Amino acid sequence: MILAGRGVWFAGAAEALRDFVSLTGIPVCANGMTRGAVREDSDLGLGGFMVAGRGLAAAGGPDAVLLLGGRLGMFTGGRRSIIPADAKVIQVDIEAEEIGRGRDIDVGIVADCGEALRALTKEAEQHELPPYGAWVQRLGQGRSGVARLFADALEPDRRPIHPYRLAHDVAAHMAKEGVLVVDGGETFVWGELALTALRPGRYLGHGYLGCLGTGLPFGLAAQLAHPEERVLVLTGDGSVGLNFTEFDTAVRHQLPIVVVVNNDQAWGMCKHEQVVRFGESGIVATELGPTRYERAAEAFGAYGELVEDPADIIPAVERAFASGRPACVNVMTDPNVISPLVQAAGVSSGGANG
């Protein structure tokens, strides 16, 4: 298994990664802006570290891992690591201090990811490589589990809107053209679950640190960096409040980003952890109101729409882009849906109702 972190994108090594994967047939999980370097609608592009862990566990886990430009962090080195404890690990990073920080590794290579991949490809061309077809097939079966898990969320008549439906629709809409920014706690989880990345460098999240409120600033920066691209920010209703006045910045500087608010009327991750651990009676200080964020954005001079029907999500997004102005699409979603990550955290901690 290859775990390709942000270092691959920063090294300009997306093409080198594709060449190596095409030659070897080794499947890839990617993180951050590297997602899409190997298309995730292909057999060898498995999605992000957070999501791929489900497929890896179902398939039995890799016996060897090539970690490229990725830190040994939450999903690669801690108690939720997708790397089995007994797997052999080869780590490539341009920063020597990152090698082996977080867990023992077997081979450390201090190098630019692009240079390392080109060297590995050259060497691999000299050898007869083992087939990985059966392993890739098992991984594919695990990956399809996410789609099965949330099939009912995509039912056209489901009310209220499931947050996975919202994330699925906007991620699919932006996959071939545009930049997708995701911000929030559970909203970030839904975005990671729903995204099928087809191009690298067109997906921005807050990563392991979970710095809520980055969505609007990231979106503005992405629009400045890529004025030719459409930029959509998917954010939670809690996280959008942290930097909501950046709508004023967007309007003054004529940066036509579209902000889609997953409005579940709560600090969702915190509220749902309370429910999983302590039951409904344990909800404390985590509920928000049915705030009309689109009206607040309109007060800054932005375009706004409220959405309560799942069929209206993409038409509203398209109208927002067509307005040519910064925009806020406020989508009311089911406040009682709990993400798999929060459910798993409750189970592992022995919480009530886990």
pLDDT digits (tens, 9 = 90+) for 140-198: 877 777 778 899 999 998 999 999 999 999 999 999 999 999 999 999 999 999 999 99
Joined together, the tokens standing for residue 69 give 């430009």
Average pLDDT score over residue span 290-314: 98
Amino acid letter, residue 13:
A
**Alpha helices per DSSP H over 177-214:** 186-194
Average pLDDT score over residue span 85-96: 96
What's the CATH fold of domain 150-348?
Rossmann fold (3.40.50)
Interatomic CA distance for residues 230 and 173, integer angstroms: 11
Average pLDDT score over residue span 85-107: 94
Joined together, the tokens standing for residue 74 give 């939450």
Joined together, the tokens standing for residue 297 give 């954005």
What is the model's pLDDT at position 308? 97
List, by residue range, all CATH 3.40.50.970 domains of the chain.
150-348
Q: Which of the 8 DSSP states describes residue 157? A: T
- Burial of 107 from C-beta contacts in 10 A (0-12 / 13-18 / 19+): exposed
What's the pTM value of the predicted model, to 2 decimals? 0.93
List, by residue range, all CATH 3.40.50.1220 domains of the chain.
2-144
Amino acid letter, residue 338:
I
Q: Which of the 8 DSSP states describes residue 228? A: T
pLDDT digits (tens, 9 = 90+) for 206-262: 877 778 999 999 999 999 999 999 999 999 999 999 999 999 999 999 999 999 999
Cβ 28 vs Cβ 44: under 8 Å:
yes
Burial readout 224-253 (b: 16 or more C-beta within 10 A, e: otherwise): eeeeeebbbbbbbbbbbbbbbebbeebbee
Backbone φ, ψ for residue 27 (5° rounding): -70, 155
* CATH assignment, 2-144: 3.40.50.1220
What is the model's pLDDT at position 353? 34
| Segment (H or E) for 246 | helix 246-252
